[in-house]
Structure 1
């Protein structure tokens, strides 16, 4: 789906687990989200999405192509630290510094209970 001016996230999912690659239920314990929507340009013909925009995500994601690299929350590229923090479920019980990070982890249980399984997860506020 593409609509001009609509900000989107890209989500990656892996079916299976390390111990059972054919498992197709209850594989996900945590969902890692990299926010490249908030306070970013609308990418398109005039503002192309380039390698410089993807580089910080590649760094925090890690080198393992299967998503098994060790990770820590926290990535503040593109002036994320200057972003205003939204008053939202996503920021409850989160320290202020971590709340301004573009790279956060949310448990599958939290997404189920707090977001009713919605993956529209947002914790930073757009300036406009």
Structure 2
């Protein structure tokens, strides 16, 4: 490898290694959903990393079963509906999202719902 190619490669690697990640974004919660307990648990937030993967975190409670917890904006959405298994009040539940951006909870009990299982490559 030539010195010039080596320098070019180092510049490329350094630029990737020094990339700044996006900050977590706090969405507006919908349909009666609220953060579970802000003093001891992560609040509902999302972010997209430098690889285009959307990550969601936090715990929510109190909303209506089957309704949207919050809406992801364009650029943070899937092109089609996908389902994610989650924990809800010590039972299994399902979170779903798709091209509308709504993150929906299909759980038996809304005493608390973990959002940590939602992670996907943004498509829309």
TM-score (norm. length: structure 2): 0.29
Higher relative contact order (CA 8 A, sep 6+): 1
Q: Which structure has the bigger radius of gyration?
A: 2
| Structure holding more strand per residue | 2
TM-score (norm. length: structure 1): 0.29
| Structure holding more helix per residue | 1
